[in-house]
Structure formats: C-alpha cells, structure tokens
Structure 1
Amino acid sequence: MILLLLLLFFSFINLATSSELCFDSHCTGDYQTIRFPFRIVNGQPKSCGYPGFDLSCHPTGEPLLHLPHSGDFIVQNIDYMHQEIRINDPDYCLPKKILYLNLSGSPFVKKNSQTVAFFNCSSNYIPYWYNDPIYCLSSHSHTVYASSSPMLINMFESNCAMIKTVSVPSSFSYSSNLWEYLLLKWENPDCGRCESVGQRCEVKSNSSNEIQCTDSQGRSRVGANVVSIAMGVVAAVICFLGVLCCLCFKINFRRRGSSSSIAHWTVSSQRTRTMGLNGATIESYPKFVLDESLSLPKPNNNVCPICLAQYQPKEIVKSIPNCQHCFHECCIDEWLRLKASCPVCRKSPIEAPPSNPS
C-alpha cells in the first residue's frame, strides 16, 4: 500500500515538473510580462517560446534581448497585440549600437526608419544650427554629430568628415530624438490576431513552428490543475504516513512498556529477595550513644564512612558485628536495606542477637 502511494506520488510530481507549464513570467524587479513568443531562458521551458525570441535577465532586473550581429539590448516594452518591441542599449550609448545595427539572423525588422548621417568633427567646431553632440562617441580631440535633416547634413558635409549613413528604426519618420530607443517589429509568428480577441498564442502539439490561439488561461489553467492535483496527492501521502507513524509509535511504545514493566517487576522482586537485609536483621546490630570522648571500637575512626560527617557527642552509632566498622545509625540502616555488605570492607554482615553496649 505504501509503495503504491509513493509511486502515485512520484508520478504526479514527474507530471507536474515535466509538463511544460507556460506561465507568464518577469525578470526580477521589472514590470514587463514575458510570454509567448518570448520566453526567459533557464526560467521557462523551450516550448513556451518561439525560435529567436529568447530573453535573459540583465543584472538590473530588466529583460535582455540578444541580436546575433548587434549584441545585447535592454527590452523597454513589448506590445504583443501590435507585435512591436522597444529596445535600448544597456551601456547607454545607443548611437554606437545604431552605427553597426544588423538585424539579419533575427526575427525582427524595422518598424519605421529614417536615414541618419554620422559626422566626425573637430573638437572646436560649433554648428551654425544647434545640434547636440553624441558624447559617448566623442573625445577631447573630436566631436561626433548625427542628423536626419537634409539641411544639417549639408552643413556638416562642408565642415566635417562623414562617418556613415545608416537607416535608423524609430517610432516616427523624423523623430526629434533618435536616441531614446529603437522600435522593431516581428511578422512571424502572427500572434497579434490571437491577442486582439483576448486569447493567447502557443505552439501546436507535436509541431515545432505552427501556432494556435488558446483561451487566455490556456496552459496556465492546465498547469495549475496539474500542480493542484500533485499537491493534493502530496498532502494525502503525508497525512497517511503521519498516521502510520503514529500507529507504529503507539504499538512500539506499548510493547516496550509491557516489557519494561515485566523487567522492572522481576528486578524489583530479585532485589527484595537478594540485595538488601531484612528489617529484623538490621535492628539486631549493636548500637550505642556516643559520649563526650567519642570512643569507638576502632581508634581514629571519628568520621562516618557513608555521609563523611564527623561524629558528635550523643549521636547514635551502629556497628556491624562481623567487622566492627561503625556508622551513623540512619546511614547504615538505609545502606543495608539496599546492599547486604559493609560499606568499608564489603564483607557480608553476620546476623547477631540484639545487644546494646553502654
């Protein structure tokens, strides 16, 4: 019975752990919800995401997207319905990332784009029209500027060296600030249609790339049911084992109690019969009251060997006939009830007729 319950218990545990439960997830300290087609590597099963949409968590607690030819980007926002993602540079130099941006090998394309020209100017050059330099690309010997305005581009071409012209993805066609973030989108998988009707997107069973729309609770509900069943089985098994342990403990306790009672009765009976002397024998040993001289049968024996207290006048002392060793009456009486031997020489006492020497 126990073996069957344990097998059932581990079966549910394996089901709960092996079932790829695709719950919504987050990086530590970030509000952005991570769900299909994205997934957090080492935090969600592989089937909970789509190829190319793997995320990790940056030490700052924000999601991190790796583009094969452009490096890592912080994910600022994911719009699942419109299939857009807003990213930025974790090293706070987005213009440098833009200079070498290459989206090949990733599922992402530019949402909108505008042509931006980068220029390398001398450090003492000041544009006629105000334009912020790109400080993270500049140094004490040169200053880097960038612009998408045809008029400013002509001005820079007359005074500076062009570094590169790139197509920058942005939210609007001529954004006033190009360095806030990059806006990318994805076409496949097409989950926007599911999101627009309040459903979620997931990979079909036994399919690596084909997707389907499911109820918004979807696999989370299945996973929650599996976990609930597993927890119920765990609780039942723990309760059963607890009751079984209590029963075993009570049975063993009763057995030990019966055995110890029998043993105690046997030992007590043996002690009554063999270990100590009876009361009549103890009372038959000679006793006397000490005088002021504290005279005893043996010289220099002025301390009771049992309690180690010195004898005092008028105390009652009792001696053992066989060896003449003396003790306080109360001390030796108690001793002889437990042990039939002299506390000093260990000899067995010899019963003697009552006598009261003066």
Structure 2
Amino acid sequence: MALLTFFPFFFLSLYLLKPAAAITCSTSCPAGGPEVKFPFGLNPDGNPNGPCSYPGFGLSCSNRTHELVLNLPQSGQFVVRYIDYDTQQIWINDPDFCLPRRFLRSFNISGTPFDSEFWYTFTLFNCSAIEAAEGGLRTIPCLSNQNYSIVASQTTSFFDSTNVLQSACRPIRTFTIPFVWYGWWDGVRLEWNNPDCRSCVQRRGDCRFRNRTSLEIECFNMPSQGGLSRSAKYGIIIGVGIPGLLSLIGLVSFIGSRMRTNGRRGNLPSIEFSASISPSQAILITGLDGPTIDSYPKTKLGESGRLPKPNDNICPICLSEYQPKETLRTIPDCNHYFHSHCVDEWLKMNASCPLCRNSPGGSSEVTPSISISSS
C-alpha cells in the first residue's frame, strides 16, 4: 500500500522539476548577422512583446534587406550590428548609414528596456563648402553636398568648438545621444539590465523563462563535469534511481521486520551534511592611480597631425581630429590612441580602454565567498 501511494508522488515530482519546453523560434535572419538568443527573439512584424522574446526585446528581419532590425517605438527601425550577451550590450545603426539624419528627426529610447552609460551633446552647423575646406572641418558626407557642408561639434569638459563654428557657420540643432562607436555616424551602443542573464551566460547555460505563466527567468542546461546531456541525466534518474529506490524500500522493510521480530529498537543514524556555496565572482573595478596612468606611453604628433593608421586620426573620446604637435597616449595591450588629457581623465574613473574595454592593469578584484552548513 505504501508503494502505491509513493510512486504517483515520485513521478509527479520528476514532471514538476523538468523545465517547460522552449517555444521553437528562429535564431537568425536570411542575410545573417548576430545570433538571436534570449532575451531577444524574432517576433512577427517586429512586435517587441511577442512570444519569442522578453517584453521589449522583439526583433525582426527587414523586408528590404533581410537584415536583423530593432524597432524603437519612438525612433523607428535600426539595423542590429552586434549583440554582446556577456555584457548585455547591443550595437545598432541606421539602415542607410546616416545616423545624423535620424538624430535630426528624433532619437528617443524612453519606454524601452535600453539605456546608455554615457551620453554626448552635439550641435550641427551648416557651413559653406569653402569654409569647411579652409578650416579643416570634418563634414558629414550623407548630409553635405558640393554647395554646403554639415559639421558636428561636441560639447564636453575637454573640448568645445561651438564658439568657433558660430562665427563662421549657422547652427542647425543641438541634441543628446548615447555612446557612439568610432565617430558618431558609425553606430550607437545601448545596454540593458533587466532581465539579467550575465551570470548564466558566463557559466555557459541557457537563460530563459522559468515557465510559461510568469516573467521569472532561470538558467537551464548547465554543463556538467562529465559532459552528460539533459536527456542522459533523466535516463540515469529513471534507469538507476527507481531500482535503487525499490531496493532501499525493501531493505528498510526487511530491517524493520527483523527489529520487530527480535523486540529490539534502533535509532536512526545521525547524518551530517555540509555544503559550501561559492557564488560567482563579483569583480569590483576602480580607476587607475596617477603613476600608473603616467607609465603609459605618449606620442607627440608631427606637422601632419595624423597617425600611420588612416582611421586613427580622431580621438574616440572627444571625437575631434588630432592636431599637429598634440600629445597622445596609448593604452597598453590594445594600442588605441587618445588625447592624453582625454584618456587620463577617463582612466581615473574607469580602469579599462574606452573602446575595447580591456583592463590594462591597476584594478582590484573583490571575490566574496559564502559558506553554509546544515545538519
């Protein structure tokens, strides 16, 4: 009778512990591009709240180019160039490669799950083609023509050319945009914090919904030391666990019968369990000190004001062109150039390269540990 009562509860427990089957969703567009994984999903018509994605993370394939696109409700469609699931960042660009035109119209990420750690303020100016050429100004090709040139000026604590341009050019509009990549017409980087799947991704698990009725997430399919698949684990549980459980029940029944027959009593053995739980490492990164920053190599430009690489003549922090006899600094291990005063201020607050995010040194790591024991 005891066995008839036990088995229904045993199989019910196996069913409840098994995660809900994932809905089959596409992971890429016909033109290729980044792989689509949770929390993103390819939803019909780019619906941000479809069944294949976490709310607000719906993507779609462009009807015109078949590329992966993200639809921002108040700003329109943008092509997805790259998704970093480890750091939860997404790079987007204008399908026609003219981000300044999109910024002139509207760029608003309110009401979306995305944000940006850094924001920049720009002013666009309309200058004559002659003034732009004589002043060595860097124009925006997709907004300029042979008669006039559109020039961008960024206002920061390090650099502000607004007053210079106002004397020779006509201001068009000032706006604030998120972090931009290699010149602000080449792409925008956005970030998200919820849902947080970083720990699961770093442990090579599958982050997805815990069940189909809530927004709770869980990490499934964690790799084991033996490399067994999930189906193999369930086979072991059923093939080995049930016979072993039956043997254990028979042994307990036999011992109980012998004890009752001999009129003896026994005490259950005391079993102590101890477990040690070590959470994922939490790394605390701080800025660098002055001597460390001063140890990084400097380069003084010549009369040309340009570096050997053709794409390196603009400081990625203040987005202004390098001028002759300016002093630049190079970050070790990644060989990226910056204005010395720009990158020095950056490294005092961030112990990593502004472009590739590599940490050249000087940061500290704090790894907490938790120990739990029970009996």
TM-score normalized by the length of structure 1: 0.50
Name the larger-Rg structure. Answer: 1
Using structure 2 for the length normalisation, give the TM-score.
0.48
The structure carrying a bigger helix percent of its residues is 1
